Structure 1
Amino acid sequence: MYPTLGDLLGFGLPVDTHGFFVLLGVLAAAAVFVHEARRRGQTDERILYVVMGALVGGAVFMRLGTWLQHVDLRQNASLAEQWLYGNRSILGGLVGAWLGVHVAKRLTGYRTRTGDLFAPAVALGMAIGRVGCLLTEQPGTPTGLPWGITLDDAAAARTGMPAGVPLHPSFAYEIAFHLVAFAAIWWWLRRRSLPPGETFVWYVAAYAVFRFLVEFVRGNEVAWAGLTRPQLFLLATIPLVLARILWQVRRGAYRGATVSTGSTTEGVPV
């Protein structure tokens, strides 16, 4: 475990590991987003407000996404306590970013779909940001697999996990997923003429299913019926996302999808 990365420029200021990789992920995502926007010709200045909406919405919901943990509201932390000391939620951040984008579009009148710009950017940003989680947070449940992470006494005491016991590197699984997703979007899906915005929907659907499964080895608190709170949230949202994809399929939205082959395109089934 590496909660800090040493001193910043030798001035005696510790660099928070988690924050450093989150910032690195945001910068990488921004670079990919700008590249895709230019490649697709989406250079309307209003798109900057859409990005700001995503960042603000994601930041707010990431911090407050774990606030409502008890039906009795008196058992939850105050909003101020949650903001200052509460756990961060990637799922909450994604929901907040989605809401922020739609609010920004409504305020600015920007109507062009932006999901195809966000999909590769978010995938790469998530892969990099999760490195910070891997280096600082509770790895996962005990495992007999050879790639398990074994904590020393100090790391075990800090994370509340047993020392000397191999643990699932659940965040490494997520990093691998997002890297594969980024590669698939960058070299395959972006070459296909899918309906505008659908690339992001596919990515979110795939991540939601993957995250539901990886929660079984994450080690989060079981909330109800053997499921964690993220799994309960996903149990309600996955059918909605899959239903949207099915609706698009049934209305024939993917029927005319094409794949680029040099300077020409040929129809392919999807």
Structure 2
Amino acid sequence: MLIYPEIDPIAFQLGPLKVHWYGIMYLIGFSLAWILGAKRAKHPNAVITKDQVSDLIFYGALGVVLGGRLGYILFYNLPTYINTPLTIFKVWQGGMSFHGGLIGVLVAMWLYAHKINRRFFEITDFIAPLIPLGLMMGRIGNFINGELWGRPTDLPWGMIFPHAGDSIVRHPSQLYQAALEGVVLFIILWLFSKRPRPIMAVSGLFLMGYGIFRFLAEFARTPDAHLGFIAFDWMTMGQILTLPMLIIGGLLMGLAYFAKEE
């Protein structure tokens, strides 16, 4: 068993301003997306110029934060926010939904594509490889907050999470997700997108890759206490929300390569 490294969620304080590690992780994630976007903008025939990367990331950041927060409220914890609506602003405490953030980013990319007169899927293909390392940083933020802990395990790297309120040794599922949805998915998408691909292919691979990794990681993650298992006594809300991603991702990949052959 490993010892959970309890970290103060507040990185530092400047007078009354408390800077939380969770927010810093998001800032690092957006910074990595900007660096990778600037690198991709140098590729021949890139649909985004280096000067446009900052605006692209700004639109994406708004989509992540607004969509992620609203998605968490709608998908995971609507009654709580109805009773205490001001809690919606306490983003430093966690409570962000990837699926809501994805919807927010898609809306933001549609608006940005319209602004620069590009096709929607040209933009989503461009940003798809920029997303996974940001997801990784978000999961590290979850780990620092001691939230979204895993299910019981007897594996040697299991941990006791104090916020779980018990002494059960659990999977560090946040780190599993950081590795799979972050590092592994980034490598797959980055290598895949280095060569010219038909439009929609990179977007489709992102949806399928994330869907597979998230579906698998949910087996090690404790379901939200107020939701439990949603279907068949084993499917979680995260897995249910991921199924449309797998279907849509597969359709996009099929359309991309079918259209190319046509």
TM-score tier after normalising by the smaller chain length: 0.7 to 0.9
**Would you say 1:192 and 2:192 are equivalent positions?**
no
Task: Tell me which residue corresponds to 1:125.
Answer: 134
**Are the structure 2 counterparts of residues 4 and 77 from structure 1 closer, same or farther at C-alpha, using a change threshold of 3 Å?**
closer
**Would you say 1:92 and 2:100 are equivalent positions?**
yes
Task: Tell me which residue corresponds to 1:260.
Answer: none
Distance 2:165 2:254 in 1: 41
Distance 2:166 2:214 in 1: 24
Q: SS of the counterpart of 2:72?
A: coil
**Are the structure 2 counterparts of residues 104 and 252 from structure 1 closer, same or farther at C-alpha, using a change threshold of 3 Å?**
closer
Q: CA deviation at 1:194?
A: 1.0
Q: CA deviation at 1:91?
A: 2.0
Larger helix proportion of the pair: 2
Deviates more, 1:141-150 or 1:105-114: 105-114
Distance 2:114 2:203 in 1: 19
Distance 1:35 1:44 in 2: 8
**Are the structure 2 counterparts of residues 32 and 117 from structure 1 closer, same or farther at C-alpha, using a change threshold of 3 Å?**
same
**Are the structure 2 counterparts of residues 8 and 37 from structure 1 closer, same or farther at C-alpha, using a change threshold of 3 Å?**
farther
Of the three residues 203, 220, 235, the one matched with 2:243 is 235
Of the three residues 219, 229, 243, the one matched with 1:216 is 219
| Bigger Rg over Cα | 1
One-letter amino acid of the counterpart of residue 120, structure 1: P
Q: CA deviation at 1:190?
A: 2.9
Q: SS of the counterpart of 1:138?
A: coil
Q: SS of the counterpart of 2:112?
A: helix
Contact 1:68 1:76 in 2 (8 A): no
One-letter amino acid of the counterpart of residue 173, structure 2: S
Tell me the percent identity.
24
**Are the structure 2 counterparts of residues 103 and 76 from structure 1 closer, same or farther at C-alpha, using a change threshold of 3 Å?**
farther
**Are the structure 2 counterparts of residues 63 and 247 from structure 1 closer, same or farther at C-alpha, using a change threshold of 3 Å?**
same
**Would you say 1:138 and 2:144 are equivalent positions?**
no
Q: How many residues align?
A: 243
Task: Tell me which residue corresponds to 1:7.
Answer: 12
**Are the structure 2 counterparts of residues 82 and 208 from structure 1 closer, same or farther at C-alpha, using a change threshold of 3 Å?**
farther
One-letter amino acid of the counterpart of residue 220, structure 1: P
Of the three residues 114, 117, 122, the one matched with 1:109 is 117
Q: CA deviation at 1:248?
A: 2.7
One-letter amino acid of the counterpart of residue 206, structure 1: G
Distance 1:14 1:85 in 2: 12
Of the three residues 176, 181, 194, the one matched with 2:179 is 176
Distance 1:6 1:128 in 2: 15
Instruction: Give the alignment's Cα RMSD to 1 decimal.
Output: 3.0
Distance 1:161 1:228 in 2: 21
One-letter amino acid of the counterpart of residue 52, structure 1: F
Contact 1:208 1:234 in 2 (8 A): yes
Q: CA deviation at 1:82?
A: 5.5
Task: Tell me which residue corresponds to 1:17.
Answer: 21
Distance 1:57 1:31 in 2: 19
Distance 2:109 2:87 in 1: 24
